[in-house]
Structure 1
Amino acid sequence: MITSPRSDCPVNRALEMIGDQWSLVILRDIAAYDRRSFRELCTANEEGISAPVLSRRLADLTRAGFLTKADTSPGKQGQYSLTELGLQTIPLMVELARLGVLLDPATARNAPEFADPSHAGGLETEIGELRRRHLGG
């Protein structure tokens, strides 16, 4: 994650924040599969993220305001939650999933449920449900 912008371009800035190999995959795992602890994110991730990389990316995403981490007692796994900014990445993930299916139709069976255009209630309903679960609102 680049903390000092290279330009004033909004596309560049978004890519500097979440355009690395792992950030959107982590946000996808939290949003689509409700993997919210470090252990779940590390062990259930099909792409094979390593623990040190996951730790750095979670810290970056939390520091940048895409995630929050609930404080827990010692020995317990903290849970990560999407912030409003994190929720704003979901339409982007939907479009990337659509592009992924165009590039490789075999991936369609693995698209997150919220990327399915026939999903009951639509994307706004899904984002509203995620908002309730993650922000309590």
Structure 2
Amino acid sequence: MENYKSHCPQYLALQVFGDKWTLLIIRDIMIEGKRRFREFLQSKEKIASNILASRLQLLEQDGIIYRSKDPQHKQKVIYSLTEKGIDLFPILMENARWSLKYKPVEKEDAIKVQAILDGGWEKILSIMDDLRKLHLKQ
């Protein structure tokens, strides 16, 4: 067992995705379909390249994503989700549900998220299956 300050479930989860950039990178992979370093840099939140590189490395070390060679550019990589990463999708949706209720979410984003939430668990599980087909080649 790794040496953590606490073994509280919330603490342990936050050790993996407890900063805003990490969840936004995961969002970009899951919702926006981004897979390349430059694509992440183009997000509206404007993550700095050094922070992006650091978070991608941490996500890979934690087994949330993996990288493979980009067949179009041999010196570049493509980032993909692992099963462990795909399992974060319901958490993203619950975060979004909370934001829809309490924060001024952009209309376009609200419509997209609400459509997923309105579909219930069936829709969430369907999207997770789609993510598996894309990222895990199932």
After TM superposition, the score normalised by the length of structure 2 is 0.86
CA offsets 1:7-52 (integer angstroms, 9 cap, x no match):
0101110011111121110000001011000000112x11110000
CA offsets 1:29-79 (integer angstroms, 9 cap, x no match):
001011000000112x11110000000000000011000000347754211
**Per-residue deviation, 1:106:** 3.7
Aligned to 2:66, the other structure's residue is in SS state: strand
State the distance in 1 between where 2:113 and 2:132 align. Answer: 14
1:84 aligns to what? 83
Aligned to 1:79, the other structure's residue is in SS state: strand
State the distance in 2 between where 1:4 and 1:22 align. Answer: 24
How many matched pairs?
134
Aligned to 1:57, the other structure's residue is in SS state: helix
Residue 135 (structure 1) aligned with residue 136 (structure 2): yes
Query: What 5-or-longer segments of structure 1 have no aligned partner?
Result: none
Aligned to 1:71, the other structure's residue is in SS state: strand
1:7 aligns to what? 6
- The structure with the largest strand share of the pair is 2
Percent of paired sites with the same residue: 30
2:117 aligns to what? 117
**Per-residue deviation, 1:6:** 1.5
Query: What 5-or-longer segments of structure 2 have no aligned partner?
Result: none
**Per-residue deviation, 1:108:** 5.0
